[in-house]
C-alpha cells in the first residue's frame, strides 16, 4: 500500500483498507484527494486558461464516520508531460477552503506533448515541502500557431497560374513567450470548402516567414496550415476564381521541395517547365531562361546562377547549404510576335542544421551510496569540418537503474566551452546518459551510457 504523509496522515488513492489485527493500533485516518478540469477537451494549447477543481478530506477507517474537510491546505499546481513537470502560471487559488474544496484558474505552460496533465501539489507540514497530490485526466498539449501579416492570393487569375501565399506564423512557447514558428507548412485547396487536399509544402525561416505557391486549375478555396507533430494553426481560407487564358502560360512542376539539410552539404535544385496554350495544350518549355537567386530574409535577393531548359523543359542547379536560405527560381518569360509568356517564379526554403555530438562521464566510479555524484560532458557541433562548442543550451540527463527503464533525472546547461555539469546523489547501480533534443540550427544527439557502481 503506497502512502504519502500529509500533516502526519496517510494519503491513499483507491486502495481498500487492510484488516487490522486485534493487537495492532487502530488504523490512522486517511486523506482522500481529487482533481479534475472543468472541461473535457482532448486537445489543449500552451497558454490556454483552464480551471482545475477538487477536494481534500480525511476519512476514518470506520465508514460510518463522516469525512472531515481539510481547510487552509497550501496548494501548488504543475503542468506535466513526457519531459517532466513545470510550475503552472497564473494560478488564482493557493489554499483549500473551509469545506476542503479548491478551484483555481491557471495558464497551461510547459513543453507541448501528448499525455499531459495538471498535477496538484500540497504542503506537507511534516517534511516542510510540497508533495505530489492528485492529477487530472490526460490531454494532448499542443502549440497554437497564429498567422501574422499573411498576404492572400489574387483573384481571379489565369488558369494554371500560381496561387501565392506569403506571411509568417508565430506561437507561444513553453515559457508563454511569443516566438517565430520554425517548421513545415502546407498549402491546401478545396473545391467545396470541406475536403482539403495538400497542393504544396514548404518550411518557414528563422523569423517564421513563408512563401508558398501552386498552380490553380479550377475555382477553389485556398489556405496555409501548419504541418507539425506538436503545433497546429492555419490562415483564413481565400476563394480564388479562374479567368480564361489569353496567352501561353509557363508552369513550373517537379521542383525540388523545401527541406532540412546538414550544414555545408551539397544539393541540387531542379524542375521542369511547360507551356500551356489557351486551348489547354501542354508542351515542354524548351530553351527558356531560368534564373536562380538566394536570400537570407526573403526580401533582399542575390543572383546565384543562370541556365536554360533542355528540349524536355528540364533544368537543374548545383548549390551548397551554407546557411538557412530562401531560393527563388524565376522564368523571366518573353513577348514574341504572336505569343506572350508572362514571367513565373517559385520559391523553396532550405533549413540547415549542424551535426552534433554529446559526451557524458559520471564520476566518481565506484561511489558510496548517498555520496555526491557528478555527470559531466561536452556538446559540440560540426561547422564546415570543425567541431565547435554549443553554448547556452539545455541538455537532459537520464538515469537507468540496473534492470529497469530510463528515467528523466534533470536538466543541465552548457557553458561557453560547451561543457555541462549535473550533480546528484548516488542511490543505486545504473547508467547515466545525456540527451540533447536539438533546435532550429542543430540536430539532436545522445551520449553513450556511462555505468556507475554504487556500493
Which CATH number fits the domain that encloses residue 65? 2.60.40.10
**Structural contact between residues 365 and 371, judged by C-beta atoms closer than 8 angstroms:** no
Are residue 32 and residue 109 in the same domain, yes or no? yes
**Structural contact between residues 207 and 346, judged by C-beta atoms closer than 8 angstroms:** no
Residue with cell 494553426: 233
pLDDT value of position 11 = 41
Are residue 118 and residue 137 in the same domain, yes or no? yes
pLDDT value of position 9 = 36
Give this prediction's pTM.
0.67
pLDDT value of position 306 = 96
Are residue 83 and residue 157 in the same domain, yes or no? no
Are residue 17 and residue 135 in the same domain, yes or no? yes
Q: What is the DSSP string of 48-96?
A: -EEEEEEEEEEE-SSTTSPPEE--S-BEEEEEEETTEEEEPBS----B-
Adjacent-strand bridge partners of 251? 274
Give Cα separations from 76 to 92, 93, 267, 341, 452 (angstroms): 10, 9, 52, 67, 35
CA-based R_g, the chain, Å: 30
CA–CA dist 319, 268 (Å, integer): 6
Are residue 347 and residue 362 in the same domain, yes or no? no
Domain final residue pick, 142, 165, 180: 142
E-strand stretches of 340-406:
340-341, 344-353, 356-358, 361-363, 372-383, 386-389, 394-401
pLDDT value of position 83 = 77
CA–CA dist 270, 314 (Å, integer): 8
- Cell numbers that stand for 160 in this block: 494554371
Are residue 129 and residue 151 in the same domain, yes or no? no
Q: What's the total number of domains in the chain?
A: 4
pLDDT value of position 2 = 33
Adjacent-strand bridge partners of 344? 331
E-strand stretches of 92-248:
101-107, 113-124, 129-135, 139-144, 146-151, 157-158, 162-172, 178-180, 184-190, 197-203, 209-215, 220-226, 231-232, 238-240, 242-243
Model pLDDT for residues 282-341, shown as the tens digit of each residue: 999 999 999 999 999 999 999 999 999 999 999 999 999 999 999 999 999 887 766 788
Are residue 31 and residue 135 in the same domain, yes or no? yes
Are residue 8 and residue 137 in the same domain, yes or no? yes
pLDDT value of position 57 = 94
pLDDT value of position 16 = 35
Domain final residue pick, 212, 244, 276: 244
| Cis geometry, peptide bond prior to residue 366 (ω within 30 degrees of 0) | yes
pLDDT value of position 188 = 95
Are residue 349 and residue 367 in the same domain, yes or no? no
| Beta pairing class for 101-107 and 49-59 | antiparallel
Are residue 184 and residue 95 in the same domain, yes or no? no
Domain span at residue 446? 356-452
pLDDT value of position 7 = 36
CA–CA dist 111, 84 (Å, integer): 9
Are residue 368 and residue 381 in the same domain, yes or no? yes
Are residue 199 and residue 151 in the same domain, yes or no? yes
Domain final residue pick, 323, 353, 383: 353
* Residue numbers in the chain where pLDDT is lower than 70: 1-28, 245-246, 337-338
pLDDT value of position 24 = 55
Amino acid at each position: 500500500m503506497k502512502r504519502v504523509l500529509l500533516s502526519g496522515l496517510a494519503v491513499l488513492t483507491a486502495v481498500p483498507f487492510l484488516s487490522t489485527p486485534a493487537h495492532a493500533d487502530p488504523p490512522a485516518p486517511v486523506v482522500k484527494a481529487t482533481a479534475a478540469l472543468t472541461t473535457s477537451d482532448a486537445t489543449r494549447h500552451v497558454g490556454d486558461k483552464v480551471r482545475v477543481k477538487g477536494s481534500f478530506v480525511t476519512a476514518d477507517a470506520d465508514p460510518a464516520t463522516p469525512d472531515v474537510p481539510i481547510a487552509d491546505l497550501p496548494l501548488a499546481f504543475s503542468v506535466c508531460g513526457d519531459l517532466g513537470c513545470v510550475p503552472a502560471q497564473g494560478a488564482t487559488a493557493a489554499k483549500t477552503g473551509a469545506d476542503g474544496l479548491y478551484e483555481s484558474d491557471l495558464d497551461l505552460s510547459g513543453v507541448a506533448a501528448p499525455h499531459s496533465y495538471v498535477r496538484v501539489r500540497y504542503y506537507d507540514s511534516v517534511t516542510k515541502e510540497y508533495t505530489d497530490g492528485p492529477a487530472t485526466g490526460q490531454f494532448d498539449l499542443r502549440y497554437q500557431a497564429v498567422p501574422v501579416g499573411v498576404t492572400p492570393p489574387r483573384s481571379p487569375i489565369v488558369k494554371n497560374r500560381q496561387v501565392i501565399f506569403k506571411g509568417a506564423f508565430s506561437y507561444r512557447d513553453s515559457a508563454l513567450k511569443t516566438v517565430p514558428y520554425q517548421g513545415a507548412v502546407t498549402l491546401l485547396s478545396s473545391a467545396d470548402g470541406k475536403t482539403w487536399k495538400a497542393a504544396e509544402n514548404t518550411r518557414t525561416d528563422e523569423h517564421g516567414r513563408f512563401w508558398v505557391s501552386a498552380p490553380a486549375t479550377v475555382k477553389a478555396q485556398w489556405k496555409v496550415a501548419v504541418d507539425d507533430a506538436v503545433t497546429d494553426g492555419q490562415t483564413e481560407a481565400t476563394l480564388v476564381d479562374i479567368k480564361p487564358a489569353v496567352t501561353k502560360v509557363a508552369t513550373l512542376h517537379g521542383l525540388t521541395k523545401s527541406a532540412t539539410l546538414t550544414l555545408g552539404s551539397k544539393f541540387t535544385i531542379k524542375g521542369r517547365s511547360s507551356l500551356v496554350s489557351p486551348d489547354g495544350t501542354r508542351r515542354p518549355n524548351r530553351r527558356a531562361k531560368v534564373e536562380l537567386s538566394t536570400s537570407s530574409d526573403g526580401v533582399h535577393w542575390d543572383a546565384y546562377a543562370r541556365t536554360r531548359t533542355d528540349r524536355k523543359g528540364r533544368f537543374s542547379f548545383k548549390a551548397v547549404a551554407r546557411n538557412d536560405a530562401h531560393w527563388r527560381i524565376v522564368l523571366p518569360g518573353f513577348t514574341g510576335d504572336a505569343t506572350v509568356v508572362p514571367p513565373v517564379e517559385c520559391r523553396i526554403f532550405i533549413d540547415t542544421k549542424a551535426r552534433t555530438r554529446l559526451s557524458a562521464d559520471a564520476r566518481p566510479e565506484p561511489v558510496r551510496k548517498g555520496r555526491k555524484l557528478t555527470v559531466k560532458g561536452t556538446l559540440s557541433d560540426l561547422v564546415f569540418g570543425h567541431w565547435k562548442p554549443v553554448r547556452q543550451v539545455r541538455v537532459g540527463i537520464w538515469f537507468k537503474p540496473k534492470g529497469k527503464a530510463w528515467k528523466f533525472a534533470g536538466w543541465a546547461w552548457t557553458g561557453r566551452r560547451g561543457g555541462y555539469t549535473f550533480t546528484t546523489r548516488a542511490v543505486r547501480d545504473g547508467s547515466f546518459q545525456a540527451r540533447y533534443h536539438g533546435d532550429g540550427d542543430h540536430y539532436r544527439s545522445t551520449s553513450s551510457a556511462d555505468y556507475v557502481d554504487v556500493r
